[in-house]
Chains A and B, each alone.
Chain A
């Protein structure tokens, strides 16, 4: 039994996505770096990070996109296909930080074979905005 996929007719503009919290411990940074072949010292060598004027080991910026994609896919369901993910960095995140993905539906448009849903997503790092994102998903015809 597969999870349901959202149907355009039941989505309203302004609908909020469920909040997704993703903490990046130092272990998570090593795991993400390993899974993406990224062995850069910024992600695990604190002395090195400090030599670059950073307060801690750095969360890979592309991991922000991965969190946002996960939040969008979780909300939309398994048959939805993310066609666009456009994110702008607003502040850096470091080991130990928890990123909170929030978002809402800003537009729905019909396309051949289904609909495209546009989301405005944001990653919060405590009180700070870490990242803003415009995401588009294609939903199959119901």
Chain B
């Protein structure tokens, strides 16, 4: 069964922007480090971070690439609030295939980060265990308040038909 319909193809190139609603903040950074069990003082100890050459504590690198924090809507029935393309791929589940993060500079609690997602490309491939999978490539560009790009996240998500599992 062909997954890559004309309706899907027409969505390639679509962009969605999520504005910065507030500064990242020290609490977000400490919460993430605590959740990861990461005791690196760069994320919580201002004097330590300054001694290491930073203007303040910094964020763990992958924090700003986490998708849901830019959202501003109620949770859907899956409990999800983050960015999604709402691709019409019936009876399937989404699985992360990979991410390529690029980081331009350390992120500070004072940073106001916005993100623009672009639906870059889609392709169909045969799964090794049979059936067809849809690969969806998207690019998120994170910018600071001055508009400078501070990180890029190239993400590949696979849609697998549920019947094939």
Interface residues of A (CB under 8 A from B): 2, 5, 22, 28, 31-32, 34-42, 45, 48, 52-53, 61-63, 65-67, 69-70, 73-74, 78-79, 81-89, 92, 140
Q: A39-B79, A40-B79, A65-B62 are in contact. Are A53 and B162 (CB under 8 A)?
A: yes
Whether the Cβ atoms of A61 and B40 lie closer than 8 Å is: no
- Interface residue? B7 (CB, 8 A): no
> Residues of A contacting B38 with CB < 8 Å?
70
CA distance A5 to B157 in the complex (A): 35
Which residues on the B side are within 8 Å of A5 (C-beta)? 52
In the bound complex, what is the Cα–Cα distance between A28 and B32 (angstroms)?
11
Bound-complex Cα distance A5 to B53 (A)? 12
Number of A-B contacts (CB under 8 A): 128
Count of chain B residues near A, Cβ 8 A: 47
When distances are taken between beta carbons in the complex, the residues of chain A under 8 Å from B66 are: 36-38, 62
Q: Which of B9-17, B94-102, B110-118 interfaces with chain A?
A: B94-102
Interface of A, secondary structure class, is: mixed
Given A2-B52, A37-B68, A66-B60, CB of A22 within 8 Å of CB of B37: yes
B72-98: which residues lie under 8 A (CB-CB) from chain A? Answer: 75, 78-82, 93, 95-98
When chains A and B are docked, how far (Å) is the Cα of A70 from the Cα of B31? 15
Query: Which of A35, A40, A61, A82: most chain B CB closer than 10 A?
Result: A35
